[in-house]
């Protein structure tokens, strides 16, 4: 009999442990849930209980895997940001590639990747600019002014914002004859115009294909060449509006995900019979994300109804246990009428 009683007590203790583990899982305390499960396993031998423990072990393992993925993703994003700060965009892109292999569609990683690609492109352009500049200086030193002028104009077209090439070009211009100078200027203006028109055409194509980031890169090239062009400025405003709307939608999607996570977490806590105050706190946080949104409030009110039902169930259970105890006490005493009254109250409940 004693052995049977101990076995029942172990099962009851294991049942309480399983309930605690489910609450810890629902609240996101995965490590605590694992520790509680390992502790509960020590005295388990019944096949049914072992199966319950294995089921929780599987759930915890899946959650730990997701947590590890998030930790690794955030670490890679942090490393990429540091490499960006250290002006090492190529290495930062390698980190972003690793991060996107974990969470491919993460908007933060996508934005950082776009920024890094632009930095890499700018770096490559500036490196090519420096090579053209060095070659032009050698040509000028060898009195090959035509070749020097051509390289300097190529450098200007490549990186219009830098003034080094223009400065050297002005120094060698007096040494070019008037005709060659005019031809060089015409060629330079023609090349700038062609590059501007090409960039503007690319903007239109990218906008039609809804490739906003590519359109933004192309309009930057066009405005570098013609900062006051009204068509280019019109495209710039349209692109800026699209980028702002995309950011707004991204933020809205994140808020929706956060809202769903909070409501689902509250729902799981209530379903598992957990701490209703913890569930209520999560619902309060969800309300702050979308104040005044009737659809969202309706979803929250459904869970709040479950919370009220849970509270009523707890109250009724406590009342039931109190009446049952009072009936037992009355039956054990001499006052039999009191026992009958308590039993009648219990039956009515």
Of all residues in the chain, the percent with pLDDT exceeding 70 is: 84
pLDDT at residue 90 above 70? yes
- Model confidence over 157-188: pLDDT tens digits? 888 888 888 888 888 877 776 657 777 788 88
Confidence (pLDDT) at 8:
66
What does the CA dihedral 303, 307, 312, 314 come to, rounded to 10 degrees? 140
- Tokens 């991060």 correspond to 99
pLDDT at residue 107 above 70? yes
How many Å apart are CA 317 and CA 313, to the nearest integer? 6
Confidence (pLDDT) at 105:
76
> pTM of the full predicted structure?
0.38
pLDDT at residue 108 above 70? yes
pLDDT band for position 135 (cuts 50, 70, 90): very high
Confidence (pLDDT) at 116:
81
- Model confidence over 234-273: pLDDT tens digits? 999 999 998 898 888 888 899 888 888 888 888 888 777 7
Instruction: Provide mean pLDDT across the span 59-84.
Output: 79
- Model confidence over 298-341: pLDDT tens digits? 777 777 777 777 667 767 777 777 777 777 777 776 555 555 56
pLDDT at residue 36 above 90? no
- CA of residue 224 relative to chain centroid, distance: 33
Instruction: Provide mean pLDDT across the span 193-199.
Output: 91
User: According to the 3-state scheme, what is the secondary structure of the chain?
Assistant: CHHHHHHHHHHHHHHHHHHHHHHHHHCCCHHHHHHHHHHHHCCCCCHHHHHHHHHHHHHHHHHHHHHHHHHHHHHHHHHHHHHHHCCCHHHHHHHHHHHHHHCCCCHHHHHHHHHHHHHHHHHHHHHHHHHHHHHHHHHHHCCCHHHHHHHHHHHHHHCCCCCHHHHHHHHHHHHCCHHHHHHHHHHHHHHHHHHHHHHHHHHHHHHHCCCHHHHHHHHHHHHHHCCCCHHHHHHHHHHHHHHHHHHHHHHHHHHHHHHHHHHHHHHHHHHCCCCHHHHHHHHHHHHHHCCCCHHHHHHHHHHHHHHHHHHHHHHHHHHHHHHHHHHHHHHHCCCHHHHHHHHHHHHHC
Question: 265 near 27, Cβ under 8 Å?
Answer: yes
Confidence (pLDDT) at 272:
77
pLDDT band for position 145 (cuts 50, 70, 90): confident
Confidence (pLDDT) at 300:
75
Rounded (10°) angle between helices 145-158 and 178-208: 20
């Amino acid at each position: 009999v004693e052995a049977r009683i101990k076995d029942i007590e172990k099962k009851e203790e294991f049942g309480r442990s399983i309930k605690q583990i489910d609450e810890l899982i629902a609240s996101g305390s995965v490590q605590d849930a694992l520790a509680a499960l390992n502790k509960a396993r020590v005295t388990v031998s019944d096949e049914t209980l072992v199966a319950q423990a294995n089921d929780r072990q599987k759930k915890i393992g899946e959650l730990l895997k997701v947590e590890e993925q998030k930790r690794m993703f955030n670490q890679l994003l942090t490393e990429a940001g540091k490499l960006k700060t250290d002006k090492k965009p190529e290495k930062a892109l390698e980190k972003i590639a690793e991060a996107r292999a974990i969470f491919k569609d993460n908007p933060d990683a996508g934005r950082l990747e776009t920024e890094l690609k632009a930095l890499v492109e700018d770096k490559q352009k500036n490196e090519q600019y420096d090579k053209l500049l060095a070659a032009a200086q050698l040509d000028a030193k060898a009195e090959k002014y035509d070749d020097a002028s051509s390289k300097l104009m190529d450098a200007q077209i490549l990186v219009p914002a830098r003034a080094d090439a223009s400065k050297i070009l002005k120094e060698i211009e007096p040494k070019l004859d008037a005709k060659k100078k005019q031809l060089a200027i015409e060629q330079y203006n023609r090349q700038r115009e062609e590059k501007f028109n090409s960039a503007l055409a690319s903007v239109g194509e990218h906008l039609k294909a809804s490739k906003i980031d590519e359109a933004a890169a192309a309009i930057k090239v066009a405005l570098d060449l013609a900062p006051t062009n009204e068509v280019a400025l019109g495209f710039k405003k349209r692109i800026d509006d699209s980028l702002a709307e995309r950011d707004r939608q991204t933020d809205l999607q994140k808020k929706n995900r956060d809202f769903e996570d909070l409501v689902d977490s509250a729902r799981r806590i209530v379903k598992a019979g957990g701490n209703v105050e913890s569930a209520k706190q999560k619902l309060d946080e969800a309300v702050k994300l979308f104040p005044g949104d009737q659809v969202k409030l309706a979803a929250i009110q459904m869970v709040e109804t479950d919370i009220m039902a849970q509270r009523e169930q707890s109250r009724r259970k406590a009342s039931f246990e109190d009446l049952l105890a009072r009936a037992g006490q009355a039956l054990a005493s001499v006052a039999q009428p009191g026992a009958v009254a308590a039993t009648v109250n219990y039956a009515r409940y």
